[in-house]
Chains A and B, each alone.
Chain A
């Protein structure tokens, strides 16, 4: 199965700063890479699908890029509600897999 490695495990930043999160796949997933946000005590929320497409209602400060094995989620200017855990997930190959998550903390 495809292993997704997210880095860093924890990102310590302040509101207003830029966050750059990485997701690396053990083999190509083409552009079928998805990003989710999970706030404490809540269900995951879809942010970005197919590497770079923002889901409905997701603010423009969230952007995704990459293809093949290397992907990036960027939050251009952190808002207080953005402090959460972010997961990447691939849907290119069986079985679908998730990365281990990156915690963005203040």
Chain B
């Protein structure tokens, strides 16, 4: 079946980096994009950025522009999100979701990963 499976929980310290993976299966990976969304404890959803799995084109939210890098590996059908210079307020569950191929808003996010909890301590 179509699914996205994310890497396990991370515990890290302020100033460090974290890299979350998102393995896709059950569909043609390069026909879609991957969006990353995060959710702080008890809070709503926050869009972080998007990457095309076809050509690697990215679009990041301005808030994360200087600290985030999204990549894909078509050979393993895996997407990655790296967030640097972590702060305590980056503590959140990070989700990947399947999105449009050609641009960030092409389609709704129809398949979601299970989420990866990232805890940042000072």
List residues of chain A with CB under 8 Å of any chain B CB.
Answer: 32, 34, 36, 43-46, 49-50, 55-56, 87, 89, 91-101
Minimum CB distance partner of A35 in chain B: B108
Pairwise interchain contact A99-B108, C-beta atoms closer than 8 A = no
Give complex CA distance A104, B61 in Å: 29
Chain B residues with CB below 8 A from A34, complex form:
108-109
- Chain B: how many interface residues by the 8 Å CB criterion? 21
Pairwise interchain contact A101-B44, C-beta atoms closer than 8 A = yes
Number of A-B contacts (CB under 8 A): 59
Pairwise interchain contact B44-A43, C-beta atoms closer than 8 A = no
Pairwise interchain contact B105-A43, C-beta atoms closer than 8 A = no
Pairwise interchain contact B105-A91, C-beta atoms closer than 8 A = yes
Pairwise interchain contact B104-A96, C-beta atoms closer than 8 A = yes
Chain B residues with CB below 8 A from A43, complex form:
95, 112-115
Asked if A96 meets B105 with Cβ closer than 8 Å, knowing A43-B115, A46-B110, the reply is yes
27 A-B pairs whose Cβ atoms sit less than 8 Å apart in the complex? A32-B105, A36-B109, A43-B95, A44-B45, A44-B109, A45-B112, A46-B110, A46-B111, A50-B108, A55-B108, A55-B110, A56-B110, A87-B44, A89-B45, A91-B104, A91-B106, A91-B108, A92-B105, A94-B104, A94-B105, A95-B62, A96-B104, A97-B47, A98-B45, A98-B46, A98-B47, A99-B44
